[in-house]
């Protein structure tokens, strides 16, 4: 065995030891301290204000959800300290926007900070631009550590803009009328924002935990794809406008079911892109394109999925997207040696993929149960084999099988990575394909 191979093997072993000890020590937390208590009091004060100010707009269950959110957010802030800074910054920005609005939605076009920064549409557009810029910086980071650092900063800025936009949009819906206000997770435009934010936050957590920015370019590709859809959908369907809820969505169940569902979608997508990185790392030194063909084909298929978003014939925008996407996949494979050298060891990539799928599966399971309870409340039956329900079950079974093979049969390596990529194709169809091709009780989500 060569000296370089021995060095690589030794490096992988050290990383495996780190994994066994629960990752980067900077993520570990001791007992909560006084800063956690202060953060809890701030959250409790905010919840108290909301209960005092908007009690008439909330039912009993929504008040319970608000109280539970204080506990959950306090715990998350203790677990991952950067999240506290994000939440405080978002609260200040959203609070400023609400103050600038007063009770007049027309001020969105009259007040400078609302028009260009803090109205929901402005903030979400900033989020979109920052995510795309972050993607470019992460790839430039292969050649310059400064660019990689900038990618991280831009990703945090994009998350800040997106979360602020979502909170302001929530307030804007209430300003439209007392019966129109609702949490902004009710249509494809809003859930694509949610998907982008959740995926980015989970990536940023793993980036810090494993002290590597090399995965940013891979994960941000899927987020940038979501952003492209978001912009296309907003400008071709006028989807950014806040619409009243259809009757089936007028339920407090939506506040629980949809976020849990999209934690699943986001982490499954992150796992797929980590799987792609795993395969690039594994084939970094290969000179045989035959071995790379399955990976290239899967990458191209993922790029081709959006071409079904058409009105009449094939959409020129999505044909261009497919072309650019295929070129990006090809370029990554052509530059695989440089990319592979920058990526963490295979053991680390495998561990991230497993953790992401485990978290996603847990939340997707909870979301499916919540969806059944919501269905019983709305339609009188827990399960009716609606196309959306059926494909949700297919997604669940796919990742249940992945985890079963992992835990029982020791599934690792390339097979697990390819399976994660195929899982993204299945998840993508369950998310969007059902809405386009299969009618059912979830037809209110059609494109």
pLDDT in tens, 386-429: 888 888 999 999 999 999 999 998 888 899 999 999 999 899 88
Backbone dihedral angles phi then psi of residue 313, each to the nearest 5 degrees: -100, -165
- Split at pLDDT 50, 70, 90, the class of 445 is low
Contacts of 34 (CB under 8 A, 6+ apart): none
Burial of 287: CB neighbours in 10 Å, binned 0-12, 13-18, 19+: exposed
Gyration radius (Cα) of the chain, Å: 22
CA distance 170 to 120: 9
Q: Percent of the chain having pLDDT more than 70?
A: 87
Res 441: pLDDT? 54
Res 29: pLDDT? 63
pLDDT in tens, 111-146: 999 999 999 999 999 999 999 999 999 999 988 889
Task: Look up the pTM and report it.
Answer: 0.90
CA distance 329 to 321: 12
Q: According to the 3-state scheme, what is the secondary structure of the chain?
A: CCHHHHHHHHHHHHHHHHHHCCCCHHHCCCCCCHHHHHHHHHHHHHHHHHHHHHHHHCCHHHHHHHHHHHHHHHHHHHHCHHHHHHHHHHHHHHHHHHHHHCCCHHHHHCCHHHHHHHCHHHHHHHHHHHHHHHHHHHHHCCCCHHHHHHHHHHHHHHHHHHHHHHHHHHHHHHHCCCCCCCCCCCCHHHHHHHHHHHHHHHHHHHHHHCCCCCCHHHHHHHHHHHHHHHHHHHHHHCCCCCCCCCHHHCCCCHHHHHHHHHHHHHHHHHHHHHHHHHHHHHCCCCCCHHHHHHHHHHHHHHHHHHHHCCECECCHHHHHHHHHHHHHHHHHHHCHHHHHHHCCCHHHHHHHHHHHHHHHHHHHHHHHHHHHHHHHHHHCCCCCCCHHHHHHHHHHHHHHHHHHHHHHHCCCHHHHHHHHHHHHHHHHHHHHHHHHHCCCCCHHHCC
Q: Percent of the chain having pLDDT more than 90?
A: 52
**Position with higher pLDDT, 72 vs 382:** 72
pLDDT in tens, 65-112: 889 999 999 999 999 999 999 999 999 999 999 999 988 888 989 999
CA distance 96 to 108: 13
Can you read off the two tokens belonging to residue 214? 């090399």
| Confidence check: pLDDT of 13 > 70 | no
Listed by start position, the domains of the chain span 105-212+221-239, 246-446
Can you read off the two tokens belonging to residue 212? 């590597």
Contacts of 309 (CB under 8 A, 6+ apart): 229, 232, 315, 318, 436, 447
| Confidence check: pLDDT of 442 > 70 | no
Q: To 5 degrees, how large is the angle CA 122–CA 166–CA 125?
A: 25
Scanning the structure block, which residue is given the tokens 């007392």? 178
Burial of 299: CB neighbours in 10 Å, binned 0-12, 13-18, 19+: buried
Q: What is the mean pLDDT of residues 438-445?
A: 55
């Amino acid at each position: 065995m060569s000296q370089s191979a021995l060095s690589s093997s030794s490096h992988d072993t050290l990383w495996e030891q780190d994994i066994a000890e629960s990752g980067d020590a900077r993520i570990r937390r001791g007992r909560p301290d006084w800063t956690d208590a202060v953060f809890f009091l701030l959250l409790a004060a905010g919840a108290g204000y909301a209960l005092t100010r908007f009690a008439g707009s909330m039912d009993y269950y929504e008040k319970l959800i608000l109280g539970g959110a204080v506990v959950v957010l306090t715990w998350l802030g203790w677990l991952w300290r950067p999240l506290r800074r994000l939440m405080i910054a978002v609260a200040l920005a959203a609070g400023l926007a609400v103050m600038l609005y007063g009770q007049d939605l027309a001020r969105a076009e009259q007040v400078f900070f609302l028009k260009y920064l803090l109205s929901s549409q402005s903030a979400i557009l900033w989020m979109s631009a920052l995510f795309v810029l972050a993607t470019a910086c992460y790839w430039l980071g292969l050649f310059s550590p400064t660019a990689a650092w900038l990618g991280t900063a831009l990703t945090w800025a994009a998350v800040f803009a997106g979360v602020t936009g979502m909170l302001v949009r929530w307030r804007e819906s209430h300003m439209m009328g007392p019966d129109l206000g609702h949490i902004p997770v009710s249509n494809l435009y809003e859930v694509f924002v949610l998907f982008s934010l959740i995926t980015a936050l989970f990536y940023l957590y793993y980036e810090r935990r494993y002290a590597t920015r090399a995965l940013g370019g891979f994960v941000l590709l899927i987020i940038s794809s979501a952003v492209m859809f978001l912009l296309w959908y907003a400008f071709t369907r006028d989807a950014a406008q806040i619409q009243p809820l259809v009757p089936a969505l007028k339920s407090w169940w939506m506040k629980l079911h949809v976020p849990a569902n999209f934690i699943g979608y986001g982490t499954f997508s992150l796992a797929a892109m980590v799987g792609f990185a795993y395969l690039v790392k594994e084939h970094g030194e290969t000179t045989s394109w035959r071995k790379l063909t399955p990976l290239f084909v899967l990458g191209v298929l993922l790029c081709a999925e959006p071409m079904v978003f058409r009105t009449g014939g094939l959409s020129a925008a999505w044909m261009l997207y497919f072309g650019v996407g295929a070129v990006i996949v090809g370029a990554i494979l052509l530059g695989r040696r440089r990319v592979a050298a920058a990526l963490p060891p295979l053991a680390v990539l495998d561990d991230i993929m497993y953790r992401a799928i485990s978290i996603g599966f847990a939340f997707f399971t909870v979301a499916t149960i919540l969806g059944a309870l919501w269905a019983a409340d709305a339609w009188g039956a827990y399960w009716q084999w609606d196309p959306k329900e059926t494909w949700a079950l297919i997604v669940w079974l796919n990742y249940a099988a992945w985890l079963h093979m992992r835990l029982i049969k020791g599934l690792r390596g390339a097979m697990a990575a390819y399976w994660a990529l195929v899982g993204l194709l299945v998840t993508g169809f369950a998310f969007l394909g059902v809405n386009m091709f299969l009618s059912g009780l979830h037809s209110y989500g059609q494109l």
